[in-house]
Structure 1
């Protein structure tokens, strides 16, 4: 491949943090040249070490790449990056913008409409399965947006997706699928932690409580894949902050309200999340939810070995 051909195929990537960084690195491993940017200099340096070219700003990316992927932590940041000053909307070269962040349906529609006014197509494509699924090759991508734009980016998405869904042309449908999946994920996480704490209170060790759950019909992704590799080993970091999870469940509730669907279970999950977050400190990893339930049971906290 000539330098010119590599430049034409190069994909921009904005947000190379906990999830975006490994995705961008996987694309590079699979032969896709990536130009990356992140406001966090450490995350950006790590992306450079893993083979990405490094940009000085997100504006540089949208001026240099026709296809740009974003993986960002909050709805407000996503709006600013897409539609704010020097955002994607002002890019000289970008034609297709792939939003892998969890932002909810209304925000996806807002971004799609804002970009469409400048001739830029949005592919709303949040991912499901987290970092462990990416590593295992089972990550899901829930895409929606114009079919021709999807077909153009499909080979890039396939470098890191175990399964690709195209949920239609309407922006926001990918977000519906993502918040639906996340609501179930957090129900499994909290119910598993609650059951583990109860079993430990009765005198069963943590590993055996997980084995029992996984032997029965209550087995779930968290109990089978996450808890044994993180919580059980004392690794209480690296899975994302509580605040991001609380945002995701809130987006599910808002989407359900918009559609006229009930959310009694998600309401209960959200209430627990808000209670734990309010107890501080901010920025704790999702794995530390186990502390909330062991505290309720009057048990010593699991110590972090990471």
Structure 2
């Protein structure tokens, strides 16, 4: 199939799998590829066709979505020897990854030379948002292609068109991510401070969320994944460190100092170095807890 109801999807990981599954549930047919064959089986059972390479995906579908962990991998998958650009059918590549503006411009230039449109479409909302179809999609690229793919984007969440220029949505995404990580970092530090001072963490969140200190961290991440001690938000600290680095690198290029953002970067990097790349983002608080000698435990986790 080569109609718009048939899509390609490369990168069936924590975010890619639920996004691809939502597209299948919305009535699209998919040709999929991932370097980990086991990741493909559940989608194949729902009717997706497994391809042998990114090029094979691009030989089957005019529009290919990619969800990949780093800019280097995105560029290799798109422009490499067996990459999407070598495909005979592909005409649009939608990058759902957080790749940064520089990689987005390289991607657009490489694909554009072959008359393939590039759409930047980084997403926010985590694994939960991907499963529920409530992601925030930041999109830049040719307006006509954005308009033509509205139904695809609607299956994944709510889209906001940022502009025509390649990389604009990526800049918006890393800004959003640094705001989110900074809120989680400072909330984690101050929850630890409060517990060490004798405050009840459940009561602390009631106060914070009733006042001006509330953020997504205090309303969602801390109560669901920290007070329960589950630490399973579903986003790896190593990927968060990459996203923060991309934002700080771009700010430096633009000549805009981000002193608060740099402090958040140090805490994220320290957490990654201590607990490993695959540790959950919400484990930032564990790094602070160990230095303070306390744990932030809510009623849901018990008092042990």
Same fold (TM over 0.5): yes
Match of 1:273? 268
- RMSD of aligned C-alpha atoms? 2.0
Q: Distance in 2 between matches of 1:115 and 1:38?
A: 21
Match of 2:40? 44
2:55 to 59, 63, 68: 59
Q: Distance in 2 between matches of 1:235 and 1:280?
A: 15
1:56, CA displacement in angstroms?
A: 2.9
- Change in CA separation of 1:233 and 1:53 when aligned onto 2, cut-off 3 Å: farther
Show structure 2 runs of 5+ residues with no match: none
* Contact kept? 1:291, 1:302, Cα under 8 Å: no
Match of 1:109? 105
Check if 1:150 corresponds to 2:143: no
* Contact kept? 2:271, 2:283, Cα under 8 Å: no
Q: Secondary structure at the match of 2:59?
A: helix
Cα deviation code 1:262-296 (max 9, x no counterpart): 21111111111222222243421112112111112
Match of 1:231? 226
Cα deviation code 1:227-250 (max 9, x no counterpart): 222222222235211111011111
1:17-96 matches, cutoff 5 A: 17-96=13-92
1:4-23 matches, cutoff 5 A: 9-23=5-19
* Contact kept? 1:24, 1:52, Cα under 8 Å: no
Instruction: Select between 9-18 and 233-242 the one with higher mean Cα deviation.
Output: 233-242
Q: Distance in 1 between matches of 2:160 and 2:34?
A: 27
Check if 1:141 corresponds to 2:137: yes
Q: Distance in 2 between matches of 1:157 and 1:8?
A: 13
Match of 1:248? 243
1:272-291 matches, cutoff 5 A: 272-291=267-286
Q: Distance in 2 between matches of 1:208 and 1:137?
A: 32
1:258 to 228, 253, 277: 253
2:207 to 197, 205, 212: 212
* Contact kept? 1:16, 1:47, Cα under 8 Å: no
Please, what TM-score do these two structures have when normalized by structure 1?
Answer: 0.91
Show structure 1 runs of 5+ residues with no match: none
* Contact kept? 1:295, 1:301, Cα under 8 Å: no
* Contact kept? 2:175, 2:247, Cα under 8 Å: yes
The number of residues matched between the two structures is 299
Q: Secondary structure at the match of 1:64?
A: coil
1:99, CA displacement in angstroms?
A: 0.3
Please, what TM-score do these two structures have when normalized by structure 2?
Answer: 0.92
Cα deviation code 1:110-140 (max 9, x no counterpart): 0100011111110011012222333454321
* Contact kept? 2:191, 2:204, Cα under 8 Å: yes
